[in-house]
């Protein structure tokens, strides 16, 4: 069995400083780990990597964004960011917040049996000022990218996609319609991936609401489980029969997000 975990750590140094990195590794013992929002450069990461091979894709801006993949298997190939032709085709460029291609948001590693991606989708912002980037540039580019990778091997997409796909994926859907993380554009981009040969692994095993991966720091939202499911593990449909479980781990602390995972017989 192979265990793959994904976690937006909201600062890998912060998780480690809280003394919560080592307990996570020792209790869960993942074979592969995808991290988002690491907020650190290579020389700033102070965690014990144990016997994992670690690949980082930090943002150029200090203390911001960034992704990582840790694996017991040595990757065959590691790709950072979108290919140049997709950046050009979909005009994935900067906006008032900076260049999306310099934010360390998408890291791909090729392994013997699959491609594994750690993805940190941009936040649309309260005023939706980054929605155009997400809808017209980011989402088309990532769909094209994963379909390209899928031509050679099955693809597993892990990460903070920053969208609640359906009304079951957030505690208060009616009051959030049209707001960041729950616009028709963001939800449509997510659905397009599913429509093109991918599945939301967690929904293969769990239906309904009450399953969340992110909670606001305000009003004891986590204690009351008033949250959003915005962290996912999406897989090529050809892996469906291999997925033995898909879980959310709300009891694992250290970030405003909790880890998500799948177990594969592969």
**Catalytically active residues, by annotation:** 120, 160
Q: How far apart are CA 175 and CA 191, in angstroms?
A: 21
What are the CA-CA distances from residue 167 to residues 192, 207, 228 (Å)? Answer: 17, 12, 10
Parallel/antiparallel/unpaired status of strands 231-236 and 227-228 = unpaired
Q: Which helix (H) or strand (E) holds 88?
A: helix 84-89
- Total residue length of the chain: 266
Q: How far apart are CA 249 and CA 142, in angstroms?
A: 26
Partnered with residue 79 across adjacent β-strands are 108
Closest to 82 in 3D by CA, of 121, 138, 160? 138
Backbone angles phi, psi at 215, to 5 degrees: -135, 140
Within 10 A of 72 (CB to CB), how many other CB atoms are there?
A: 14
């Amino acid at each position: 069995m192979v265990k793959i975990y994904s976690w937006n750590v909201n600062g890998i140094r912060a998780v480690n400083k809280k003394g919560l990195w080592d307990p996570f590794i020792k209790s869960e013992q993942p074979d592969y780990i995808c991290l988002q929002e690491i907020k650190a450069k290579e020389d700033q990461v102070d965690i014990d990597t144990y016997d994992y091979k670690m690949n980082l894709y930090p943002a150029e801006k200090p203390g911001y964004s960034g992704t990582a993949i840790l694996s017991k298997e040595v990757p065959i190939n590691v790709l950072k960011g979108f290919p140049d032709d997709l950046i050009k085709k979909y005009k994935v460029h900067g906006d008032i917040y900076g260049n999306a291609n310099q934010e360390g948001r998408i890291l791909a590693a090729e392994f013997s049996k699959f491609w594994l991606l750690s993805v940190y989708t941009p936040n649309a912002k309260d005023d939706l000022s980054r929605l155009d980037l997400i809808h017209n540039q980011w989402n088309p580019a990532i769909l094209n990218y994963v379909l390209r990778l899928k031509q050679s091997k099955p693809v597993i997409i892990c990460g903070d996609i920053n969208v609640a796909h359906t009304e079951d994926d957030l505690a208060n859907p009616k009051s959030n319609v049209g707001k960041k993380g729950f616009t028709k554009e963001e939800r449509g981009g997510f659905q397009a991936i599913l429509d093109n040969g991918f599945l939301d692994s967690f929904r293969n095993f769990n239906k309904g609401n009450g399953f969340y991966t992110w909670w606001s720091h305000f009003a004891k939202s986590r204690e009351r489980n008033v949250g959003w499911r915005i962290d996912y593990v999406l897989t090529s449909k050809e892996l469906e029969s291999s997925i033995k479980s898909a879980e959310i781990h709300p009891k694992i602390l250290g970030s405003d997000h909790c880890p998500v995972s799948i177990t594969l017989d592969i």
